[in-house]
Amino acid sequence: MLIPARMSEAEEQRWVSVMLDKLAAQESKRVLGDTELSERAQRLSAQYFDGRARPASVRWVTNQNTRWGSCTPSEGSIRLSHRLQGMPEYVVDYVLLHELAHLLVPGHGPRFWRLLEAYPRTERAKGYLEGVVAADRLPHLPGVRGE
Ligand SMILES: [Zn+2]
């Protein structure tokens, strides 16, 4: 952060806390709730899979750090890692579509990937997520994490 010169320490503390509040407010605005997430999944299913994937529940989870998303086809439930929050929409959409596709086709065979070919940004989203994983392994590079 750039801090204007000649601030007292108390002023500086206050300024930092104001900036952090602003950042937190921006962050929370970008986060979809579980309801919006379900609506988004429905729209994506309609657009790319003729509405054939019908999840019973779609929600964020915080206990999933090694996978971006998961689904239980027998329950029709889809869970997305909270680590996706704040990432570009096309990345979140890709993970949603990926899990929706698993409601139709288990595993990652050719039939599965053929379904995802309908989404034009599959490769780009996969590249983005691979970049995030790579950046996570380099924790000492400032500014790289999550972008
Ligand atoms: Zn998968």
The C-alpha atoms of residue 63 and residue 1 are separated, in whole angstroms, by 31
- pLDDT tens for 119-141 read 999 999 999 999 998 888 876 55
Ligand 1 centroid from CA 139, angstroms = 27
Ligand 1 centroid from CA 48, angstroms = 17
Ligand 1 centroid from CA 14, angstroms = 46
pLDDT at 26: 62
The C-alpha atoms of residue 137 and residue 123 are separated, in whole angstroms, by 21
Ligand 1 centroid from CA 105, angstroms = 10
- pLDDT tens for 48-92 read 999 999 999 999 999 887 899 999 999 999 999 999 998 999 999
pLDDT at 2: 65
pLDDT at 145: 46
What's the per-residue H, E or C state across 60-123? EECCCCCCCEEEECCCCEEEEEHHHCCCCHHHHHHHHHHHHHHHHCCCCCHHHHHHHCCCCCHH
User: Residue 14's pLDDT band (boundaries 50, 70, 90)?
Assistant: confident
Q: Which residues fall within 8 angstroms of residue 20, CB to CB, at 6 or more apart?
A: none
User: Residue 16's pLDDT band (boundaries 50, 70, 90)?
Assistant: confident
Max Cα–Cα distance, the chain, nearest Å: 63
Ligand 1 centroid from CA 111, angstroms = 12
> Could you tell me what percent of the chain has a pLDDT over 90?
62
Ligand 1 centroid from CA 29, angstroms = 28
What's this model's pTM, rounded to 2 decimal places?
A: 0.73
